Structure 1
């Protein structure tokens, strides 16, 4: 019998992507629409951006391990782009690594729960309007690309 090596499927979701899926499902239960891998400006890419029923904007960074968290030095740059900032981690994540004043969501690929609500830091009206418009345009482009991949 031949020896086979297991080769990972490159199309399989990564652990952080599975957390993001659970976060998006949880945000729906709070009345939020969400986009994964949202780019508010060049050089920044948020794992999940949620747009709430009253126009509130939440950023969620998904961390699948200690190494994933320690390699991310740019998260503070996202604070100027949201009303509330959250970390999403799984139940095995070392919670003592996460900075105070930030939110905490325990999640898996099926859902999540807000464990700690972060302090609110309201966006300026002009930035909120620009982000909301970009959110809508990005969502529409993604939908159009899904419906008509040749566009």
Structure 2
């Protein structure tokens, strides 16, 4: 039998992670699979990557406040890793400052609402295939780690 006393309790969620939870719940209702804090390549980490029922790939960046948004200078680099890009913010965020050529999701800890669909820029086939495989392998590893934290 496994000694679960060695497993630390989960850390409290940060504000961006709370938004990500609502976004992921919304996307699951749209038949998307999601991964939070996913690295499509070394040195890049998106808040949410979603894989849709037709193989579409979306990236969602969760911004907990204006200072969080202003400090993010790398979001344009995420565009090369998605068919559509979205911002997820709470209802208090001044959404009018977000670029109009990106998607917008209003979220809270429990759900989200799609306000503006991000424009589609289809990934190249080879990148989509490699990214989908990496997504699946990461999801499987995370599931295994959740079932067997000491492995």
Partner of 1:76: 76
Question: Which blocks of at least 5 consecutive residues in structure 2 are unaligned?
Answer: 1-9
- Give matches, 1:2-151, under 5 Å: 11-151=11-151
Shift of 1:29: 1.2
Shift of 1:11: 2.0
Secondary structure, aligned partner of 2:44: coil
Secondary structure, aligned partner of 1:132: helix
Q: RMSD value over aligned CA atoms?
A: 0.9
Q: Normalising by structure 2, what TM-score? A: 0.92
Secondary structure, aligned partner of 2:23: helix
Q: Which runs of 4+ in 1 moved over 2 A?
A: none
Question: Which blocks of at least 5 consecutive residues in structure 1 are unaligned?
Answer: 1-9
Most deviating of 52-61 and 91-100:
91-100
Q: Normalising by structure 1, what TM-score? A: 0.92
Secondary structure, aligned partner of 2:49: strand
- How many residue pairs get aligned? The number is 142
